[in-house]
Amino acid sequence: MTPAVPELPGQPSVVPTGLDVPALAAELGGTGVPVRWEELTWQQAETTAAAQDAVIIPVGATEQHGPHLPLAVDTLICEAAALGVSALTGVPVVPPLSFGVSASHGDFGGTVALRPETLIAVVEDVIDSLYASGVRQFILLNGHIWNNGALDVSAEKLRVRHRDARVRALGYVTMYPGPEVDGHVQYGRALMHANFFETSVMLHLHPELVRMDKATSHVDVDSFWDYRMDQVSETGVWGRDVADADAKHGEKEFDRCLLTTARAVSAAVREPWPDPTHRPGATA
């Protein structure tokens, strides 16, 4: 039986998806409505922590996304995915961390960047606070690829510090195969930035923030090294066919991100801890 979460005032949040939310929520443990940590009282937070023992921490960025998309793309998409997963699984979502490791964008205006060490420290503080509230399972849901290193370090440090906690850092697209992500990117190890994929998803989630009249593409090239974005793109875009982006494709990609991540999270928070008797060579 899935533990209940506290009822919240106000109207239910609408999950921007074509998925059958009520049916999936019934299967995966949610109510169909996201649980927003910041909307809980402290008593409700304690109840939720005891019932779910898990939380999703969206980690985004505030950085340039070409001339046609807003600075908040990585945060907006990641938070939407986190809230959708919460609606399907019942796992609460804390407010997104909206600054990331973004200095490699270089001289494009608007970017607000954290040093990797700063993001590591912020994540540690956030998880330590939630740990004190009784949470023991932490999903760091990432919306910006250059956050990966800092989040992996954070997870490693926290696994060592809190022996009874579980931490996993993953991207909102991690749970289905990378080659299946239709970003119209040929090179760059699937680097997606202000490209066909992100533009399509934003047209689905926030069409009012997309300026398709200013959309431009960039022919990605093969390289061994990673570079600052202003060294490889004149516009801040990495990817082809951006003008072909459309909301229907964005909905399809977003729904797959949401479904695969929700199924993974629903199973993860119920996963048994390792049993020493299952180790190779162990005796019964």
pLDDT digits (tens, 9 = 90+) for 168-213: 999 999 887 766 777 777 766 556 799 999 999 999 999 999 999 9
Q: Which two tokens stand for residue 250?
A: 């964005």
Q: For residue 14, how many other CB atoms are within 10 A of its CB?
A: 11
pLDDT bin (cut points 50, 70, 90) of residue 54 is very high
DSSP 118-186: HHHHHHHHHHHHHHHTT--EEEEEES-GGGHHHHHHHHHHHHHH-TT-EEEEEETTTTS-GGG------
Three-state DSSP class for residue 228 = coil
Quick one: which of 234, 153, 240, 151 has its CA closest to 191? Answer: 240
- Cα separation, 68 vs 82, in Å, equals 24
- Cα separation, 66 vs 205, in Å, equals 18
Residues 6+ apart with CB under 8 A from 225: none
pLDDT digits (tens, 9 = 90+) for 87-142: 999 999 999 999 999 999 999 999 999 999 999 999 999 999 999 999 999 999 99
Three-state DSSP class for residue 65 = strand
- Given a contact cutoff of 8 angstroms between Cβ atoms, the answer to whether 86 and 93 are in contact is yes
Residues 6+ apart with CB under 8 A from 9: none
- Given a contact cutoff of 8 angstroms between Cβ atoms, the answer to whether 49 and 37 are in contact is no
From its phi and psi, is residue 184 left (phi > 0), alpha (psi between -120 and 50) or beta? left
pLDDT bin (cut points 50, 70, 90) of residue 11 is very low
Rg (CA), the chain: 19
pLDDT beyond 60 at 10: no
| DSSP H stretches of helix in 5-92 | 21-28, 42-52, 73-89
Q: Model pTM?
A: 0.91
For the ranges 18-27, 30-39, 96-105, 215-224, the lowest mean pLDDT is seen at 215-224
pLDDT beyond 70 at 12: no
pLDDT at 221: 79
The HSE-up count of residue 18 (CA atoms within 13 Å, CB side) is 11
- Given a contact cutoff of 8 angstroms between Cβ atoms, the answer to whether 76 and 90 are in contact is no
Quick one: which of 202, 208, 194 has its CA closest to 251? Answer: 202
Q: Which two tokens stand for residue 212?
A: 């398709």
pLDDT at 183: 75
Three-state DSSP class for residue 113 = strand
pLDDT at 220: 76
pLDDT beyond 90 at 18: yes
Q: For residue 107, how many other CB atoms are within 10 A of its CB?
A: 10
- Given a contact cutoff of 8 angstroms between Cβ atoms, the answer to whether 100 and 141 are in contact is no
- Cα separation, 240 vs 237, in Å, equals 9
Whole-number percent of the chain with pLDDT over 90: 75
